[in-house]
Each structure stands twice: as C-alpha cells, then as structure tokens.
Structure 1
Amino acid sequence: MNISGSVVFVTGASRGLGLAFAKVALALGASKVYAGMRNPAGFDVPGLIPVHIDVTDDVSVASAASKCADTTLLVNNAGIGEVHEGALDKGMIDLTRRMMETNCYGIVRASQAFAPILAANGGGAIVNVLSDVAWLSVPMLAAYAASKSAAWSVTNALRLGVKGSNTQVVGVHVGFIDTDLVRGFDVQKSDPLDVARTVYAGVEAGELEVLVDEKTRYIKSTLSLPDAVYFNPPASA
C-alpha cells in the first residue's frame, strides 16, 4: 500500500519512535495521522491528531477505534521495557506479565479493534514493532524479550488471519533505537526517523517483515544454524 493518501493510526505516539512514525507518515503524504497516546493533554504537533488510547485497556482501545474509523494503516508501536537481572530474577514472572500486557496483548487488542475497520475500508496494513531480542534474548532484557517473542508469534498468526481481507501485516525487527527506553546504554543506536522511513518503505514494497539494521539481519540469518547466535551472543549484544 502507499503511505501517501492513507489514514494512519500510531500507538505510543507521544514521543520516541511512535512520534517518528507519526511525523514521517505525514511527511510521506498521509492524508490524516492519528497520534495515539495515554495522555493527549498538552500534545501539540502540527498536522498530528492526538487520540487517547491505553493499549492495556479494552474500553480505551475500542473507543479510539470507533473515533478513528477511517484508519487504513495501524502502527502498533506502544511498548515498555525494563532492565533486570535475568530469567532467575525473583521478579521475572511479575515483570514479564507487565511487559506482556503492553508489548503483546496491546498488539492483540489494537489489531482486533482495527482489523475490521481496515477490512471495511478496502484493506490496508498493520505494522507491529517487534525487536531483535525476539530471537536473541539476553539476561538483562529477559522479560522484555519474552514479550517480544510472543508478539512475533502473534504477528505471524495475525498475518494469516487477515489474509483474506486485503490487509498486509508487517513485523518490524530492530535493535537499539535512540529513544528514552535505552538512554544511558553505551551501544549503537538507530535514529527513530530513519527507522520509520525504512519501515514505511517496506510497507510500500509489500514486505511482510522489515529487518531494520545490520545486526538484526545477521541475527536472523543464523537462526537455522547449529551455532545460532542466540546460543553464544557477542558481548556487545
């Protein structure tokens, strides 16, 4: 599908990657861009329409979808992350539950609410922001990685589920992005605007999966190998 002329709804759009997705969509000629966020108060970015949505709340998601029934492209970007000690951390289960609620179930809620709308509008696209940690989990991001692995599985099932309604489902895998989530991490980071541009180019090219950076592409290329990178990740992972 073309971004130009589309009606885009982005979750988690108050800042960071979500805001980048919203701004780039506008720059690419989207006819309308809804910036979904938990607290729209004070949000004032020219051309963007703030909409209240909390992807952890069924009523909030349904209300947002009802108000934005002309949407043709949904970007499931909302997500949370937290560093901890690893899979043996005593808080691992509770933390994973919290991550799942936003990072996985949030995608399910928004997709269930908007997929019928996209179908009614002739079809469109759903973009799910995932991560390279869906394939390469490291101890300090174990809970986050578990939620993203689950979201990847949901994305693949969703793609098959909407196949008959002319809706494209794009899974986005990317490493560290220069946002508040990884502030203070001494690692290579992608620019959010560059990520958004790369993803939208993939959408327009009809891609089903967008691997944004070189590291992510390398990780995926090893998945079927006997020495897949997730067995012995490099120290920089």
Structure 2
Amino acid sequence: MSRVLVVEDESAIAELISINLRHAGFEVTIAASADQAQYEVDRILPDLVVLDWMLPGQSGLALARQWRGAVRTKEMPIIMLTARAEETDKVSGLDAGADDYLTKPFSTNELLARIRAVLRRKAPEALDTLVEVGGLNLDPGTRRVSRDGAEVKLGPTEFRLLHFFMTHPERVHSRSQLLDRVWGDHVFIEERTVDVHVKRLREALERVQCARMIETVRGAGYRLTQQMAALPV
C-alpha cells in the first residue's frame, strides 16, 4: 500500500483528498503546515507528497526546494497543488522540484490519475524482480509466467493483474482498488471489466492447475491464495 502525505492547510480540501485516496487504497497522512509536513517526512518517508503551494509559515514551493536539496528526500515524488494558474507559476513549481502540478479547483479523479502516473514513473527497479507464490513464477523482466517449467500465456492486462495479486498475496482487493492499482489512469472503466479479466486470468492459469489460486471473496472482491485447495472458481 503506497503511503501519501497530503500537505494542505484548508481542512475541507485535505479531508476530501484524504477520503478519496483512502478509498482508492492509499495510506494517507495529513499535515496542515510546513513544519508538520517536515515532521511527518522525518518520521516516515512517504511514497508521494501532495503539496499545497500556499501554507502558513514556509511556502510549499520553499519546502519542495528544501526536500530536493536533501539526500533522503531528493527522489521523493511531489505533486504540487495551487490556485495559481499562470504558466510562470507552473514553471516555478516544476523548477522547485515538483513532479507534477495541479491547479485548483481540480477533480479527485484527475488527482488520482496524476498520483498513479507519478508513482509508476518513480517505481523502484525491485518491481522487476522475480515473484514466486505457491509454485507459480512470474518474471516482470521477461514477461513470463510459469509453473514447473510449463509456461502460461497471458495478455498484458492479465499479466499486470497477476503481478499485482502475486506481490500482494492473501489480501482481499475490491474491484475499485484493482482498477486503481492495475489499470492506473483509466479511471472511468467499469468495475465489471475486472471480472472479465479475472475470468481470462483463471482460464490461462488452468493450464498449470493454478486457477483456484484466484479466489472470489463474496461481497468484497478477489484475492490470490497460496493454498492450492482453494474453493472452486
């Protein structure tokens, strides 16, 4: 679960962002000032910061420059929020080290899409390492899935879906969470699309007797289990 720090002094906006991010599967911390934001970053380095330009005391712009100048935070993803719509302001924000820039008012769907896009660009190379769950092997580098030497042919969406399941085993994921984490920017895809791709994934895994690893959790979503004696699919 990605950890997002929301630095915003307007409590209504901060709460709105927080609710939507949590619903999308993110862990969220809110800071209302630059000092509080620095405290939270020192405590636990977030995976991404949503940073308001105008803050009491030190500005978000100055805070972004400060973080970019420190070894520990120089690679920390930052999306800047501002009421300033002028191009010169946008350039200033990006020059200060922001990875992206969003002008108020904005839609929460657009913010979510921007967050996912920045996190993908900043994704660590560790995501390319081999994953193994219950004898099923997935290699992101070669895009191959196999079990006991038998290869499983998957389409690109099914591959991403399986990769997410295998890197988060035994956890239940709702359809909306899967859309957010697997489909990314395609925020307007219907949730039933997830069911279609899960069905295709199970059909492909049937060849290596692993279809039952993908469990349906009624009323909640799906999970990948290491127990081969899963319920019938």
TM-score (norm 1): 0.40
Higher RCO structure (Cα 8 Å, ≥6 apart): 1
TM-score (norm 2): 0.41
